[in-house]
């Protein structure tokens, strides 16, 4: 009797297994790679300050308060889309937002900031993209949350939406005690 039902049972088991896989992947971007950096210290870097290129900013200079590192470039279309969200975050005063100008030309970056406004507390310039590899950056925009001890707490690949801020970032800011 059981042998008669066996094929159906096996089929059902496989269907359930595949179904679980589909549900687990729903709504997740395949492009996003889980960063091994989350939970680990932010990488060291020494990059020029956009406002004053002769001044070199290091990882240790940023320690002591949490910050959001937002990777952008003037050639990046999605950065335009998330720009208002980043601006709102910066204006809310809950978190210091640091810009990371990736593989860009200075003149183009200046034009972009003039056009859209500059939401950043300060901007690091990585013209060659060499330091970006230490952060595991592979495109723009990408955003990291680093806490006061210099530990990476969160990474987001692609433009940040208001929903992402609400659902993921704000609870994390509460957790690390950023602002208020």
Min dist CB 125 to another protein, Å, is 16
| Residue 104 CA to its chain's centroid (Å) | 18
Q: Are 56 and 131 in contact (CB under 8 A)?
A: no
Residues 31-90 close enough to bind another protein by CB under 8 A: 31, 33-37
Q: Quick one: 157 or 160, whose CB is closer to another protein?
A: 157
| Cα–Cα dist 62/117, whole Å | 23
Strands 67-72 and 142-146: antiparallel
Question: Distances in Å between the alpha carbon of 91 and those of 63, 84, 120, 134?
Answer: 21, 10, 10, 29
Min dist CB 148 to another protein, Å, is 23
Contact pick of 51, 64, 111, 138 for another protein (by CB under 8 A): 138
Only segment of 28-36, 65-73, 146-154, 169-177 that touches another protein (CB under 8 A): 28-36
What count of other Cβ atoms lies within 10 Å of the Cβ of residue 37? 18
Q: Does 11 bind another protein (CB under 8 A)?
A: no
Q: Quick one: 63 or 103, whose CB is closer to another protein?
A: 103
Min dist CB 173 to another protein, Å, is 25
The sign of the torsion formed by the CA atoms of 44, 50, 56, 57 equals negative
Residues contributing to the site for another protein (CB under 8 A): 3, 30-31, 33-37, 103, 129-130, 133-136, 138-139
């Amino acid at each position: 009797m059981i042998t008669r039902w066996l094929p159906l049972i096996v089929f059902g088991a496989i269907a359930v297994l595949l179904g679980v896989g589909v549900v687990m992947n729903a709504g997740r971007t395949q492009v996003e790679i889980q960063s091994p950096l989350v939970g680990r210290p932010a990488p060291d870097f020494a990059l020029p300050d956009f406002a004053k290129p002769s001044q070199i900013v290091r990882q240790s200079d940023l320690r002591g308060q949490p910050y959001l590192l937002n990777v952008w470039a003037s050639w990046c279309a999605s950065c335009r889309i998330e720009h208002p969200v980043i601006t709102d975050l910066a204006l809310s005063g809950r978190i210091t937002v640091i810009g990371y100008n990736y593989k860009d030309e200075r003149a183009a970056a200046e034009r972009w900031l003039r056009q859209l406004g500059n939401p950043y507390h300060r901007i690091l310039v990585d013209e060659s993209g060499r330091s970006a590899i230490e952060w595991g950056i592979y495109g723009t925009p990408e955003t990291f949350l680093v806490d006061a001890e210099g530990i990476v707490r969160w990474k987001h690949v692609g433009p940040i939406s208001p929903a992402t801020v609400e659902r993921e970032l704000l609870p994390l800011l509460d957790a690390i005690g950023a602002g208020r």
